[in-house]
Amino acid sequence: MAAASQPPTGASQQLAQLFKARDIALADPTMYSQVIPVMVAVLLGQPPSPKPSQIVKVWGADFLAETFSSTMLGADVKQAFAISALPVFMDFLTLPENVQKTPVELTSMTKSIIQAVASVYPLVFRHIIRNPNDTETWRLMSAIKSNVLRRMDTELPGVRICCLRFVERIVQTQTPGVIADPRRPDQNEISLSLVPPDHPLIPPPNLEAEAQGLLDRALGILQEHHSDALLVTAVINGLGGLVRLRATIANRIITAILNFNPFRLTSSPMNTANKLMIKSMEKTTSIFLANLLKWAPQHPLAVRIEQHIIRLQQMRKDILDGTLKRPAVDEPTDGLDNAKRQRLGADLPSMPPAPLGQPQLPPGPISYAQLYTITNDPANQPFDVHVIPPELAARTLVHLLKFNISPDQLGHAINTVRSRFLSLTSRPTVVPAAGLPTPAPEVDDDDDDYEPDYQPTEDAEQLKNRLEIDAPEDAKLMKQVQSQGTVAAFRLPRAPPMTNEQIDMIALATIDRMFYTLNTLQASQEASERKRGFNEPIVRGAIDKNAYFRMIVRIAVRPLAGLETADQYRTAEGQINNETDIPIGDIVRQKLLQYILSDWNRRIGNAVTWFTEEWLTEEAVWKEYTKTLNTTNGNGGDVKPSPPPRHYQKWVLRFLEDLSVYLGGMKQDMKILIRFISELPALDREILGRVAGLAQDPERTTIVSNSLRYLVQYRPPAKELALDALQEIWKADKLPDGPNAKLLKSLRPKFMEEALEVIPKVETV
C-alpha cells in the first residue's frame, strides 16, 4: 500500500515496504483485499510504480504463490483476485526473446509462479463456468496453461515438478467429481461435473479428453524417468488427492503405480546416491499404496496392492540390505554350462552318455514300475507319472526323444528293460496267496505301470468285493470271481470311535466352512436390496446372509447354554495350552469377532445381532438357574449348582477394545458408535466405562461425547450411567463451555459447581 502511494527510490527500500505489507496481511487476512491490487500494480510496473527489479519480481512470485494457496482467504475472494493477477503470471512466464529454456537465474521465480498458477487454475475455471462469455480471461488462462505445459519436458527438474503438479491440478479440475450438495454450489469441489454440457468456452468432452492425455503424460514419468527420484516421488506424492477424489481415473493411476518398478536403478552402479534414491522411491510407493488401502480396504485391486507392498519390501531387503545378494558367478554364463538351461542352437561340447542306473530287482513279484525304473536316484524312484496330464506327457516325450535323447542311450535303456523282463520270465512262477488275484500282466493297461507296493490288510472277502467294484468290466476277472461262487453279503468294517481331538478338528473345520459360506453369501447378495416385513427372506424360509449369520451366532451361543458353568470357563481360561482347549462356543465367538471387525463399518448391525442373541440366551439361562437355586434352597442340604458363565459383558468389552484400534474421529465413526451403543440390549457401568475409555485418544473425544449425550437423551434407563461416563470424559479436558459442560451443568449441577471451583485453585498453585 505504502509502496504504491510513495514510489520508492531503491529496490531494497521497495522490498522492505513489500515485506511490511505482507506482514500486515498475514496478521489480518482482511487486509489482503487492499494488499493484492497494489502488489499486482507493482509487479506489472503500472504507474506510478517503477518497472520492478528482478529481486522484486522474485519476491512477488513468492508472495503470489503464498497468497493463492492461503487457507485464510475464501475461494470467492481468491477467485476475484486471481483474474486480476493473470497478466502478472503471463508477464513473468514470458521468456526473453531467443531463449527457449528458463535460465537458471529465473528458476526460483518460475517455480513460484507455476505453483501460483496451479492454485489459481481451478478458481479461474469456476469463474468461466459462471461467466461463459468472458472469452478474454479464458484466452489468457489458456495461454498461461500452454506456456507451462510446453516447459514440462525441457526444463530443469525443479521446474518440471511444479509443471507436473500443475498437470495433476488440471486433471483434477477437468475430470468429473462428486457433487456433494447440489443446493450449495459454493461448497462443491471444483470439477468437470459443474460444467453445463453446452458451455461455449469449455465443452466438457474436450476438456476431459485433454485431462486424460495429460494424466498419461504425468504417469508416463514413472516409466520414462524411473531413475530420477525427484520427478518420480513428486508425481506419486501429488497423486494422493486425485486417486481418492476421481473414481473414473483411480484405477489407471493405481495400475501405473503397480507397474512402476523402483528398483530399475539397480542396473547402474550402486553408490550411496543411487541406493538412497531406490530406497526413497520404494518407500514412497509403499506408503502411497498403504494409504490407498487404508482409504479403500474393499477396493477390487486391494489384494494386488497388498501383495505388491510386501513384494517391494522384500525386494528392498534383498537388494539394499544384501541379505540374499548372490556373489558374481565365476564360471562363464554363456549358456554352455551343462548344469544350466541350455541355449538353443549353441554348439554344445559333446558329453558322454550318462550311465544308466540299474537298480537290482528285488526277489519275488515286482511291479511294472519297478521293471521300468532305470535310475538309481532314490528321489526319482517313487515318482508317480500320473501327475503329468497325458497330453502334456505326449508332447514332452516326443520332444525329448527327438532332440534330447541320443539313440545310443535309448537303445541302452530298451535293452536294459528287455533283459530284465527276460530274466523275470525265466524265474519260477510265484504262487499267489489263496484268494489273492495277481494282476494279469497280459492286460496292457495304461495304469499298470503304477502299482503301489503294499500288503493289503483286508480279508479275502473284502478284497473280492473291492475287485467287483473296481473292475466290473474286466470280463476275465468277473468270470474268475463268479466261478468261485463265494460272493457273500458285504460288511463294512466298523469304524473305530473318533477321538476327542478328531471331533474337535472336525468341529473347527465345520466352523471355518460356515464362515466361508457366510462370505460367499455376503458376496453374492451384496448388491441386492434388503427386503423387510413378510418379504424378508428368513420369513419365506430362504437363507440369506443375515439369517445365516444369526444361525452361526446361535451355534455359538445356544448349544451349551445351561450346560456349562462359570467354573469350567475359569479352569479353561487358566490352562489353555492349544486351540482345542478353548470351549467351542468361544472359538465361534472369536471368529464372529474377527468377521465383524474385518469390515466393521458395514457389519456393526451384525455385532448388534450377536450381542442381542447373547444377552437373550444369558437372561434365559440365568432365569432357569435362579429357579433351580430357589428349589435347592427349599430342599436344604443339596449342593448348590455352580452358576452359569456370563458371556455378554465379557464379549461386548472385548469387542469395544478391539474396535478401538480401528475407530477414528470422523462423522461416520460417530454414526457407527451411536448405533452400536444405542442398540445394545443392556448397558452397565463397565461397558460405558470402556466406551468412555475410547475418548483417551483425543481424536475421538467428540464422537464419544456425542454418543454418550445421545444415550442421556434417548435412553433413559442408561441416563445416569452415561452421565457418569460423561463426567469422566469431561474431567480429562475440563472445557468450561463445551457441550458436555452444558449438559452436565443442567443435569449434574452439584458436580459441576464443585469441579469448576477446583480449577482456578489448581491454576493459582
Partner 1 sequence: MESHLQLASAGYPVISFGTGSLVRLPGPSVKEPNIFNFNRTSYDQMYNELFQKDPRLYRANGILPMLDRNRNVKWGPERWQDWKVGVPRMTEQQKHNRGAEGTEGGVVDIVITCEERCWDSVVDDLLNRGSPMNRPVHVFNVDIKDNHEDALVGGRAILDLAGKLNEAAVQEREKSGAEMWDSGGASRTGFDERVPYILADWQERWPHLPAIWTLAWF
Give the torsion through C-alpha atoms of 409, 414, 415, 421, to 10 deg. Answer: 150
The correct pick among 126, 165, 308, 603 for binding partner 1 (CB under 8 A) is 165
Query: Residue 413 is placed in which grid cell?
Result: 535303456
Q: Which is nearer to partner 1, 80 or 245 (CB)?
A: 245
The distance of closest approach from Cβ of residue 65 to partner 1 in the complex, given in angstroms and rounded to an integer, is 7
Q: Does 283 bind partner 1 (CB under 8 A)?
A: yes
Q: Does 280 bind partner 1 (CB under 8 A)?
A: yes
The distance of closest approach from Cβ of residue 325 to partner 1 in the complex, given in angstroms and rounded to an integer, is 18
Q: Which is nearer to partner 1, 642 or 696 (CB)?
A: 696
Question: Taking every pair of C-alpha atoms in the chain, what is the biggest distance, in angstroms?
Answer: 128
Give the torsion through C-alpha atoms of 157, 163, 167, 168, to 10 deg. Answer: 70
Q: With contact defined as beta carbons under 8 Å apart, do 477 and 471 qualify?
A: yes
Q: Which is nearer to partner 1, 465 or 701 (CB)?
A: 701
Q: Does 71 bind partner 1 (CB under 8 A)?
A: yes
Candidate segments 107-115, 131-139, 342-350, 533-541, binder of partner 1 by CB under 8 A: 107-115
Q: Which is nearer to partner 1, 74 or 157 (CB)?
A: 157
Alpha helices, DSSP H, located in 187-271:
204-224, 229-238, 240-245, 247-259
The correct pick among 35, 159, 256, 723 for binding partner 1 (CB under 8 A) is 159
Euclidean distance between CA atoms 678 and 627, whole angstroms: 31
The correct pick among 34, 44, 50, 108 for binding partner 1 (CB under 8 A) is 108
Three-state DSSP state, 131: coil
Q: Does 733 bind partner 1 (CB under 8 A)?
A: yes
Of the candidates 37, 12, 8, 11, the residue with the CA atom closest to the CA atom of residue 25: 37
Q: With contact defined as beta carbons under 8 Å apart, do 487 and 525 qualify?
A: no
Q: Which is nearer to partner 1, 20 or 466 (CB)?
A: 20
Cα dihedral sign for 621, 626, 630, 636?
positive
Q: Does 277 bind partner 1 (CB under 8 A)?
A: yes
Q: Does 410 bind partner 1 (CB under 8 A)?
A: no
The correct pick among 69, 147, 612, 678 for binding partner 1 (CB under 8 A) is 69
Q: Does 72 bind partner 1 (CB under 8 A)?
A: yes
The distance of closest approach from Cβ of residue 306 to partner 1 in the complex, given in angstroms and rounded to an integer, is 16
Of the candidates 521, 679, 668, 554, the residue with the CA atom closest to the CA atom of residue 602: 668
Q: Does 288 bind partner 1 (CB under 8 A)?
A: yes
The site map against partner 1 for 14-33 (x = CB under 8 A) is ---------x--xx------
Candidate segments 38-46, 100-108, 610-618, 675-683, binder of partner 1 by CB under 8 A: 100-108
The distance of closest approach from Cβ of residue 283 to partner 1 in the complex, given in angstroms and rounded to an integer, is 6
**DSSP 8-state secondary structure symbol assigned to residue 328:** P
The correct pick among 34, 107, 370, 517 for binding partner 1 (CB under 8 A) is 107
Q: Which is nearer to partner 1, 19 or 714 (CB)?
A: 19
Give the C-alpha distances (Å, rounded to integers) separating 359 from 25, 172, 176, 377: 95, 73, 74, 9
The correct pick among 267, 272, 499, 635 for binding partner 1 (CB under 8 A) is 272
The distance of closest approach from Cβ of residue 450 to partner 1 in the complex, given in angstroms and rounded to an integer, is 56
Of the candidates 45, 50, 125, the residue with the CA atom closest to the CA atom of residue 82: 125
Query: Residue 344 is placed in which grid cell?
Result: 538353443
What b-and-e string marks burial along 481-494, b requiring 16 or more CB atoms within 10 Å of the CB? beeeeeeeeeeeee
Q: Does 162 bind partner 1 (CB under 8 A)?
A: yes
Site for partner 1 in 421-480 (CB under 8 A): none
Q: With contact defined as beta carbons under 8 Å apart, do 569 and 628 qualify?
A: no
Q: Does 262 bind partner 1 (CB under 8 A)?
A: no
Of the candidates 582, 602, 578, the residue with the CA atom closest to the CA atom of residue 590: 582
The site map against partner 1 for 685-724 (x = CB under 8 A) is -----------xxxx-------------------------
Q: Does 156 bind partner 1 (CB under 8 A)?
A: yes
Tell me the three-class secondary structure of 492-517, residue by residue. CCCCCCCCHHHHHHHHHHHHHHHHHH
Q: Which is nearer to partner 1, 238 or 644 (CB)?
A: 238
Site for partner 1 in 211-250 (CB under 8 A): 229-230, 233-234, 237-238, 240-241, 244-245
Cα dihedral sign for 532, 534, 537, 539?
positive
DSSP string covering 645-691: P--HHHHHHHHHHHHHHH--SSHHHHHHHHHHHHH-S---HHHHHHH
Alpha helices, DSSP H, located in 75-203:
75-93, 104-130, 135-151, 157-173
| Cell 443442567 belongs to residue | 746
Q: Does 308 bind partner 1 (CB under 8 A)?
A: no
The distance of closest approach from Cβ of residue 706 to partner 1 in the complex, given in angstroms and rounded to an integer, is 19
**DSSP 8-state secondary structure symbol assigned to residue 346:** -
Q: Which is nearer to partner 1, 165 or 308 (CB)?
A: 165
**C-alpha neighbours within 13 Å on the C-beta side of residue 85:** 29
The correct pick among 178, 209, 247, 290 for binding partner 1 (CB under 8 A) is 290
Query: Residue 284 is placed in which grid cell?
Result: 514412497
Q: Which is nearer to partner 1, 566 or 666 (CB)?
A: 666
C-alpha triplet 80, 84, 85: angle, nearest 5°: 110
Q: Does 161 bind partner 1 (CB under 8 A)?
A: yes
495 torsion bin: left (phi>0), alpha (psi -120 to 50), beta (else): beta
Q: Which is nearer to partner 1, 91 or 451 (CB)?
A: 91
The distance of closest approach from Cβ of residue 328 to partner 1 in the complex, given in angstroms and rounded to an integer, is 24
Q: With contact defined as beta carbons under 8 Å apart, do 718 and 688 qualify?
A: yes
Q: Which is nearer to partner 1, 145 or 165 (CB)?
A: 165
Q: Does 157 bind partner 1 (CB under 8 A)?
A: yes
Euclidean distance between CA atoms 229 and 279, whole angstroms: 10
Q: How many residues does the chain have?
A: 765
Distance of CA 207 to the CA centre of its chain: 33
| # of chain residues touching partner 1 (CB under 8 A) | 62
Give the torsion through C-alpha atoms of 315, 319, 320, 321, to 10 deg. Answer: 90
Candidate segments 115-123, 133-141, 333-341, 521-529, binder of partner 1 by CB under 8 A: 115-123
Candidate segments 277-285, 366-374, 429-437, 443-451, binder of partner 1 by CB under 8 A: 277-285
Euclidean distance between CA atoms 88 and 40, whole angstroms: 7
Candidate segments 99-107, 138-146, 375-383, 558-566, binder of partner 1 by CB under 8 A: 99-107
Euclidean distance between CA atoms 642 and 619, whole angstroms: 16
Site for partner 1 in 485-504 (CB under 8 A): none
Q: Which is nearer to partner 1, 161 or 687 (CB)?
A: 161
Q: Does 58 bind partner 1 (CB under 8 A)?
A: yes
The correct pick among 175, 284, 373, 606 for binding partner 1 (CB under 8 A) is 284
Q: With contact defined as beta carbons under 8 Å apart, do 607 and 596 qualify?
A: yes
Candidate segments 80-88, 111-119, 460-468, 634-642, binder of partner 1 by CB under 8 A: 111-119
The distance of closest approach from Cβ of residue 698 to partner 1 in the complex, given in angstroms and rounded to an integer, is 6
Residues in contact with partner 1 by CB under 8 A are 11, 23, 26-27, 53-55, 58, 65-66, 69-72, 104-109, 111, 115, 118-119, 156-159, 161-162, 165-166, 169, 229-230, 233-234, 237-238, 240-241, 244-245, 271-273, 276-277, 279-280, 283-284, 287-288, 290-291, 294, 696-699, 733
